Amino acid sequence: MSVAKKVTINDVALVAGVSVSTVSLVLSGKGRISPATGQRVNEAVEQLGFVRNRQAASLRGGQSGVIGLIVRDLTSPFYAELTAGLTEALEAQGRMVFLLHGGREADQLLSRLDMLLTQGVDGVIIAGASGVGSELCERAAQKGVPLVFASRASYLDEADTLRPDNMQAAQMLTEHLIRRGHQKIAWLGGKSSSLTRAERVGGYCSTLIKYGLPFHSEWVVECESSQKKAAEAMGALLRSNPTISAVICYNDIIAMGAWFGLIRAGRQSGEGGVETFFDQQVALGAFADVGENALDDLPIVWATTPAREMGYTLADRIMQRIEKSDVQAGHQIVSARLVTVK
Amino acid sequence: MSVAKKVTINDVALVAGVSVSTVSLVLSGKGRISPATGQRVNEAVEQLGFVRNRQAASLRGGQSGVIGLIVRDLTSPFYAELTAGLTEALEAQGRMVFLLHGGREADQLLSRLDMLLTQGVDGVIIAGASGVGSELCERAAQKGVPLVFASRASYLDEADTLRPDNMQAAQMLTEHLIRRGHQKIAWLGGKSSSLTRAERVGGYCSTLIKYGLPFHSEWVVECESSQKKAAEAMGALLRSNPTISAVICYNDIIAMGAWFGLIRAGRQSGEGGVETFFDQQVALGAFADVGENALDDLPIVWATTPAREMGYTLADRIMQRIEKSDVQAGHQIVSARLVTVK
DNA sequence: TTGAAAGCGGTACCAA
DNA sequence: TTGGTACCGCTTTCAA
């Protein structure tokens, strides 16, 4: 099959017996065109199988209908879900996203941004940046392209930012356990360099204090995200602090590991609250990026970050910025939900 | 900060004291330009902070440097990884990816393809399509845009396709268990409607037969991807077939569930081979989408599908198709690897 | 080696 | 309500 000669508005105009400007007007729905003409044009479009070339369209001045997205790590379920949400929302509006995976370093990010600017995007979203905002903002502003950041923790001060409410999530989780009767609640997982973790630990800590419960720094255990390591750390924690009755896990992997640790220690988790089991059994709470509905065999209370909704919200936000250039940059926070596996 | 007037090649030409054509030549490295002129132009570019508008560039005839990618489900680790690999490879060449998430229905997919064609992409990749190829191929061919499919199983006959070698993966896994001394090997998980599963079960089955081992249809258990369900199914399976000494799990969730099932049945898995444990313990093998290095606490043999490599391969393939239009469409298969957690 | 000018496919302003 | 036409930013002959 040979490549068909591309059909342009000129062809359409010719077939419809009108001028190119008329075709353009019909296409964009602007200007008042008579129904009859509109009809004729549309028929010609149909007949010729014409598809409008957006590159050319945006060249003259219009929008490209394209949003650039730079993601740090698409492999992480959180960002995958966020990306899915964003593209879904944008596609529903007939827009598209350019996907780039961003480097960690500022200049890498800058070069990615330039690629997007080069392509004439209407707006840019950077997901998972960490405190390298000002140059980027400047560059984008220079081009008149709105820039929005999305991340897991609050890094940037000066920019338009969307992020999950890690503190609230941790508070919710902690409070849930407290309501269940737990008083000695420990923390397992995450690296101390993680800002997300810092915020979560903050929420955990503040809730303990709020309820007048003890907060020991030895009860906050660092641990890399490996089941094996988590299981070991769990064992060690319980051995040195046998009275701990609940543990909050930094993520799903830690949670699985913690559970294995419990099994080995013969202290399987139960959702039953401390009053029934005294402190024989240990309850588990954990953070999850997405609805971990597959992990349904563990009696764990999950605090899920609504990554998909964040994607939707991002779509709204960037479109606002694009349409009304006077929208103030600011921070926006998305709340977590509690999910109890039954 | 006010939006700086965009700088074009005209500005550059003006500053450098040359014509726009010269600037264009310098930019694209074509035509023989004197070092001195090149120097001057580059300085002007630097000074003005000029970035070339690719839209305009591709409008005139060149390539856009953009590949369209339609993914069925970015949320699945397999496709997330594949997407990451693809964008990584493409970005390294200065190209970019348009990301769309594709619907299941043929016409949805077709409209997505049109969006991409509208934007003037150089090529299109559809990941996770299932047997709706011909119209799509036609449409793309009409526009002269190469189209490549990537999926988890072999659906399409007529198109350029890349997919993992599910059979080989299953054969490898099964053979590994057989070499370990297992003779009664069961299968757990997946829905019978899944083509991927069908291929894997085929590999499992053929290997059993090849080694003269028994193949019972009751040993092939369907199960949805839930830990709880998998644990229950595992228990039931072992109760009615106590001599089974190894189980191959359809994915990581099933594997975790299966392991819980083993624990409850007191038949924890070991990698030790049947000769040591007789059939007291049950060995576990499983398929995983990515290197599940986080799942390091279970003695499970994993067959991992190299999703990332598939992304790289896809990048190569589409670029070949773009550069040499005479490349024959065909099927390409990517092998799995065995990973033993130590 | 460099410059002038004609597009690429549309849009948008101004006339008609 | 339509048509004419000057662009958008860049590439690419064709001359100079």
B263/A contact by beta carbon, under 8 A: yes
Question: pLDDT per residue over A182-227, tens digit each?
Answer: 999 999 999 999 889 999 999 999 999 999 998 889 999 999 988 8
Range in A263-277, B83-97, B133-147 with the lowest mean pLDDT? A263-277
Is the pTM here over 0.85, yes or no?
yes
The whole-number pLDDT of residue B84 equals 95
Q: What is the DSSP letter of B109?
A: H
Q: Which residues does B11 contact at the CB level (< 8 Å), separation at least 6?
A: B48, B50
Task: Quote the pLDDT of residue B132.
Answer: 65
- Strands A283-288 and A300-304, bridge-based pairing: parallel
- Give one DSSP letter per residue of A230-243, joined into a string: HHHHHHHHHHH-TT
Distance from chain centroid for Cα B316: 13
At A56-74, the pLDDT tens digits run 888 887 788 899 999 999 9
What letter would DSSP give residue A41? H
Question: Which residue from B minimizes the CA distance to A263?
Answer: B263
Alpha-carbon span A150 to A126, nearest angstrom: 6
pLDDT at A270 over 60: no
pLDDT at A200 (0 to 100): 95
| Confidence label for A271 from pLDDT (cuts 50, 70 and 90) | very low
Q: What is the pLDDT of residue A3?
A: 57
Residue nearest to nucleotide C7 (CA to C1'): B60
- Protein-covered nucleotides of chain D (CB closer than 7 Å) are 1-5, 7-13
Q: What is the per-residue pLDDT for A294? A: 58
What pLDDT was estimated at residue A293? 58
More confident residue, A253 or A311: A311
**Interface mutation vs chain A, best among B67, B119, B341, most A CBs within 10 Å:** B119
Interface contact A297-B53, CB threshold 8 A: no
Stretch A127-151: mean pLDDT: 82
Pairwise CA distance, residues A159 & A162, whole Å: 10
When pLDDT is cut at 50, 70 and 90, the band that residue B272 belongs to is: very low
B30 touches strand D (CB under 7 A): yes
Distance of residue A213 Cα from the nearest chain B Cα, in angstroms: 33
Report pLDDT for B292.
57
Say which nucleotide is closest to residue A118, CA to C1' distance.
D9
Contacts of A120 in chain B (CB under 8 A): 53-55
Interatomic distance A13 CA / D9 C1' (Å) = 25
Q: What is the H or E stretch that residue A69 is in?
A: strand A66-71
Least confident interval from A1-10, A29-38, B176-185 = A1-10
Element (H, E) at B101: strand B96-101
For B302-316, the DSSP string reads EEE--HHHHHHHHHH
> What confidence score (pLDDT) does residue A36 get?
85
Q: How confident is the model at residue B267 (pLDDT cuts 50, 70, 90)?
A: low
The overall longest dimension of chain B from CA atoms, in Å, is 87
Q: Is the pLDDT of residue B306 over 90?
A: no
Distance, in Å, from the CA atom of B3 to the CA atom of A97, rounded to the nearest integer, reads 23
| Residue A341 scores a pLDDT above 50 | yes
Q: Is the CB of B18 under 7 A from strand C?
A: yes
Alpha helices in chain B (DSSP H): 9-16, 20-28, 35-48, 54-59, 77-92, 106-118, 133-143, 166-179, 195-210, 227-240, 252-265, 274-277, 307-323
Place of tokens 């010719």: A14
B269 touches strand D (CB under 7 A): no
Residues of chain B neighbouring A1 (CB-CB closer than 8 A): 138, 141-142
Does B235 touch chain A if contact means CB atoms closer than 8 Å?
Answer: no
B280 CA, D15 C1': separation in Å?
Answer: 89
Over range B217-226, report the average pLDDT: 92
DSSP string, B125-188: EEES--S-HHHHHHHHHHHT--EEEE-SS---SSS-EEEE-HHHHHHHHHHHHHHTT---EEEE
Q: Tell me: pLDDT of B222 over 60.
A: yes
Measured over all CA atoms, what is the biggest interatomic distance in chain A, rounded to whole angstroms?
A: 87
Q: Which protein residue has its CA closest to C1' of D13?
A: B21
CB A57 within 8 A of CB A27: no
pLDDT of residue A50: 86
In this prediction, residues A280-309 reach a mean pLDDT of 80
Beta carbons of B101 and A87 less than 8 Å apart: yes
Establish whether the CB of A33 is closer than 7 Å to any nucleic acid atom in strand C.
no
Using one digit for the tens of pLDDT, what is the confidence trace for A13-57? 888 888 888 988 888 887 778 888 888 888 888 888 888 888 888
Tens digits of per-residue pLDDT, B127-149? 987 666 678 888 888 788 899 99
Measured CA to CA, the distance from residue A1 to residue A210 in angstroms comes to: 73
Q: Is A342 on the interface with B (CB under 8 A)?
A: no
The answer to whether some atom of strand C lies closer than 7 Å to the beta carbon of A49 is no
Query: Mean pLDDT for chain A?
Result: 85
Reported confidence tier of residue B279, pLDDT bands at 50, 70, 90: very low
Give the closest residue to A82 by CA, choosing from A334, A271, A341.
Answer: A334
Write out chain B residues lying below 8 Å of A110, CB-based. Answer: none
Q: How far is the CA of A20 from the C1' of D12 (A)?
A: 25
- pLDDT tens-digit readout, B40-88: 888 888 888 888 888 888 888 778 889 999 999 999 889 999 999 999 9
Mean pLDDT computed over A333-340: 87
For residue A118, the chain B residues in CB contact (below 8 A) are 51-54
User: In chain A, what percentage of residues exceed pLDDT 70?
Assistant: 88
Give the B window 108-137 contacts with A, CB below 8 Å. 112, 114-120
Residue A342 has a pLDDT of 56
Q: Residues near A342 by Cβ (< 8 Å), separated by ≥ 6?
A: none
| d(CA B113, nearest CA chain A) in Å | 11
Percent of chain A with pLDDT over 90: 38
Lowest pLDDT segment from A128-137, A158-167, B186-195: A128-137
Indicate the pLDDT class of residue A278, thresholds 50, 70 and 90.
very low
Query: From CA A96, how far away is CA B146, in angstroms rounded?
Result: 20
Residue A1 confidence (pLDDT) above 70: no
Region of residue B17 (left: phi > 0; alpha: psi -120 to 50; beta: else): left
- CB count within 10 Å of CB A267 equals 20
B167 vs A120, B152, B199, B253, CA distance in Å? 45, 11, 5, 20
Q: Say yes or no: A92 contacts chain B, CB-CB below 8 A.
A: no
B69: chain A residues, CB-CB within 8 Å: 99
- What Å value separates CA A55 and C1' D5? 21
| Rounded Cα distance, A150 and A333, in Å | 10
Residue A268 has pLDDT above 80, yes or no: no
Nearest-angstrom CA–CA distance, A133 and A115: 17
The predicted structure's pLDDT at residue B268: 60
Separation in Å, CA of A128 to nearest CA in chain B? 15
Query: Which of A100, A101, A227 is closest, CB to CB, to B295?
Result: A227
Which of A126-135, B147-156, B242-251 is the least confident region? A126-135
Considering only A252-256, A311-315, B69-73, which range has the smallest mean pLDDT?
A252-256
B196 Cβ under 8 Å from any chain A Cβ:
no
Instruction: Find the Å distance, CA of residue A48 to C1' of nucleotide C15.
Output: 30
φ/ψ of A269, rounded to 5, equals -70, 145
B17 touches strand D (CB under 7 A): no
